[in-house]
Structure 1
Amino acid sequence: VLYGECLSGALYWKDFERLARHADFLDPRLVEDRPLEITDPLLAAKIGDIQFFSATYRLFKIATLEDACEDHGQAVIYHGTIDQLPHHFNLDKHHAIETGRVFAVCGNTFRMLKESRFAKHFDFIGDDSRHYGIFAGCGDILPFGHPANIISDSNAA
């Protein structure tokens, strides 16, 4: 029954991302997702607390993508020229790019747009000659303690 409902072959999302990276799609981008509702009580009893989602990803095979979102001070401006998208373009769930506005992007997003079919729909600002560190809001943070947050023995009560 699970096979007939297309549930038994469902991939765990992290496994899908690992497979994509292994196939040289180095920075998979989630575009949209929705939970799959299990309405059949017998089927629901078989799967228990397992949750299923339908997900759509954008994959770019660009060899120069990095393994993290790095800030190089780059930005893009969307022209509004993609059919049926005159007001904004959603690259993925985290990049809703409004027409005509300067939109700061990480190096990977810059490359995805510049080295794909989307290039003609954007102006590109900057290059990768300067590095400012991790791009804010991309999931990675500085793993090291900030000096202001460290309690030394002399400050301990």
Structure 2
Amino acid sequence: MDRKVLVRMHAGFGTLALLLILSFFTSTVVVELQGDITQIQMVKRYIVYGIGLLAPAMAVTGFTGTKLSGKSRARLIQQKKNRMKRIMMLGVAVLIPAAFLLNYLAQFNAFGMLFYSVQAVELVAGAANIFLMGLNMKEGFMLSGRIIRKQKA
């Protein structure tokens, strides 16, 4: 596949993934602060549905990133790869199971200690993923030349 196509796919699907995670996070915070039970249930359901779009977006981002980086040992690329491992682990081990559990609990009106404990863990893990993905995006811009690196004095 042409490198330009890979770069556009990587940037596009990476941006989509970050925007989806930001929308999950933001909608959760807003509905928890201002919503009623029905709205919380709806948000939890749509987050589970959204995982169906997020998972392939993350997979394409990872695949294209791997293809673009090849066997490079460059520091920025290695940092991005290491962050992606953390992002993937948080997603698979914490965020996806939490989304399904929170949806299940919400649909049965089980808004107790378990719900809010899992919700707190999900928000912390989600914030960490947003931060890590933002760093990867910034370094992607640096690698593409869209952001000029600051020279040390």
The higher-RCO structure (CA 8 Å, 6+ apart) is 2
**Hey, which of these two has a bigger chunk of strand by percent?**
1
Q: Give the TM-score range, shorter chain.
A: under 0.3
Q: Which has the larger radius of gyration?
A: 1
**TM-score normalized with structure 2 length:** 0.28
